Amino acid sequence: MTMRSMKKLLIVESPTKARTIGKYLGSDFEVVATVGHLRDLPKNKMGVDLAKDFEIDYVIDGEKKKVVDLMKKAAQKAEKIFIATDPDREGEAIAWHVYWILTNPEIPRTKSQDTNKSQVKNSKFKTKSGNQEISRISFHEITKEAVEEALKNQREVDMDLVNAQQGRRVLDRVVGYSLSPVLWKKVRRGLSAGRVQSVAVRLIAEREKEIEKFVREKYFKVSADLLGGENSFLAELVRVDGKNVFSPTKIHLFDGDYSYTKSIFRSRDEVEKLVGGLDKQYEVKSVDGREITRTPLPPYTTSKLQQAGARRFGWSGKQTMTLAQRLYEKGLITYHRTDSVYLADKAVESFRSYIKKTYGEEYLVAKPRVYKNTAKIAQEAHEAIRPTKVEITDPEGIDSKELKLYELIWKRAVGTQGAAAKMKNTTIIFTNPSGSNAVGIGEFKSIGVRMLFDGFLKISGEKHEDQILPEVKVGDKLTGKKVAIEEVETNPPPRYTDASLVASLEKQGIGRPSTYAPIISTIQLRQYVEKDEGKFRPTSLGKAANEFLVKNFEDILSLPFTAEMEADLDKVALGKLDWKVMMAKFWKPFEKKVKAVEETADRIKVETEKLGQKCPECEKARLNGDESRQGELVVRVGRYGKFVSCDQFPDCKYTSPYKEMAGFKCPLCGQEAVARRSKAGRKFFGCSDYPKCKWAGWKKP
């Protein structure tokens, strides 16, 4: 084969990405996919030599033998090789490993230790291997223009990014392999700990304690139904004799402050006495009408996209990121792992042109709207998540869920260049003259809003309903139709949802865009937390593991420490810190702490839920004369979720499936409904008479 007939080879991670790029490059290129990582830490041992400056024993995944062989064969026939893995730390690390495999002709065929270990000092990447030249290219969107531009801008692998990935991987491996054996000894066999995952469990466990500690208080709200012209509207009591009815209260939580509202009315008698003295006539005390503007939110970052997916569609972070990955690989959106709100000038101009042409010039903001990054380490070179082509509003070849997410991304990004929405807010204060039995003079407030110009809301598709108040002036009198008293209760801090947990992780600087979804999936998979109607709560296993780790490794599980480690990894990515120096500083005191805890710490008992029923096996034994058998049934958490067993285990090995009663009847057959878990750990409801009755649903009917 002559040099002229040799093809160029481009290497990516995903087969879908390979197919999309292949359509752009034509017959001169062969595009192959690594299908993720090819070379990583071993699965059955730590793989890090703590005594030899944290040398890493990388292994090639035995399941990737065919992929490696295919890639090496393609490389031998290629004139030039381009490694185009994703533009983040993980992608940079994969590129480095691909380079190592291609430049080491004799590679292990099984999951054995290789000889390269963690030699990362050689930052030169453009090298000749025979007649081949290997280059690294990267792009943030999979379009013909972006790929062609990337091919013109070849570079070396960014070893600072590689080292940041190695530092995180080694740090997490060392923490996990050090803490997990201690948990086996002190809590329960089979448990595992993770540096960031354990902090996420702590957030959920601490919130549960805060909910249990919260004292609910009843209070009362009063509203009047007033007649203005032909229509009636509501006004809420806000002051009595000049004193505010509602007062904000703030409490300090593990994750920050929580505010809730209390009322001066603590008993129904107080309220009824006031209401009984109210007059039928309400007088207008003040009218305040002002025009306000509302501007669009920034385009989506990874965190905000996951939060939107959870709030709008009930998706987990993992599900949102999987859908976003598909859209990215199909060339429809820019790279979806980012913490930047920056938009490229070219994209902004295309959005502005589209808005002017489609909606009219009045819907276009006068000057390009620019957003400032608030994330501590947002990389300006990375863009926010946006559509690659604004003209594509209804992409072909995608399913309904992908379309929902695409539309969400499209509207948010394009809407950034829309004109501000204009509204008129009107606040009317009414006074009610004191009657003979009145406790005091009441002031009622009603707020109305009317859209003057919808602006960017027309692009984003957000719904708005006007709240129209009657045209009144100071001194006017309106008739009250009726007064309602509502008894309410102060609410404790809410349990975390997918959206609020991601928001908390981001706020505290824990994890990075690519880690939020795996963190939440892992703590569910390990049975440390469970989701009940979309809200997380710790399991008995999670509570016990968290109690032990907080008691003995409080500094490791503290929010400031975890955020500091993330900041150090960011310094590594910027070339300002050696990852081995970072590890050495962490490892020495941590090693001493682990040994001390292993020797002196007390065991933590996993609390079990008692069912209040006798164990049938023990009862059977007692009937046969064994009076020592007094077992009761309890709920335990195992590898596959909850199950029922005898509290005398291991002396009594009775077990049975756990049925969590749902609290309602099956809508099809009338039998009791039960709560179950899908393979992914998601809770759903079904009939207890399954398989005779096959009714099932995600929500209670």
Do the Cβ atoms of 204 and 620 come closer than 8 Å? no
DSSP string for 350-410 = HHHHHHHHHH-GGGB-SS-------STT--TTS--B-BS-TT-SS-SS--HHHHHHHHHHH
**Paired tokens of 97:** 């490993």
Q: Which of 58, 219, 335, 363 is catalytic?
A: 335
- DSSP calls for 589-614: HHHHHHHHHHHHPPP-----EEEEEE
Query: Do the beta carbons of residue 405 and residue 398 sit within 8 Å?
Result: no
The candidate with the shortest Cα–Cα distance to 513, out of 377, 639, 417, is 377
Is residue 352 within 8 Å of 417, Cβ to Cβ? yes
Euclidean distance between CA atoms 88 and 166, whole angstroms: 13
Q: Which H helix or E strand runs over 531? A: strand 529-532
In degrees, to the nearest 5, what angle opens at C-alpha 253 toward C-alphas 252 and 257?
A: 55
Residues contacting residue 492 through CB under 8 Å, at least 6 positions apart: 210, 211, 214, 216
Q: Among residues 396, 348, 338, 339, which one has the least CA distance to residue 368?
A: 348
Q: What angle do CA 582, 587, 593 make, to 5 degrees?
A: 145
Residue 601, classified by CB atoms within 10 Å of its CB into exposed (0-12), middle (13-18) or buried (19+), is: middle
Rounded distance between C-alpha atoms, residue 113 and residue 109, angstroms? 11
588 phi/psi in degrees, rounded to 5: -60, -55
Which two tokens mark 614? 């006798």
- Three-class DSSP labels, 361-378: HHHECCCCCCCCCCCCCC
300 a catalytic residue: no
* Long-range interactions of 25-33: CB distance < 8 A, separation 24+: 25/147, 30/74, 30/77, 30/78, 32/70, 32/71, 32/74, 33/67
Strands 78-83 and 7-12: parallel
Residues sharing a CB contact under 8 Å with residue 301, sequence separation 6 or more, in sequence order: 338, 339, 340, 341, 375, 384, 385, 513
Q: How far is CA 208 from the centre of its chain?
A: 19
Catalytic site positions: 335
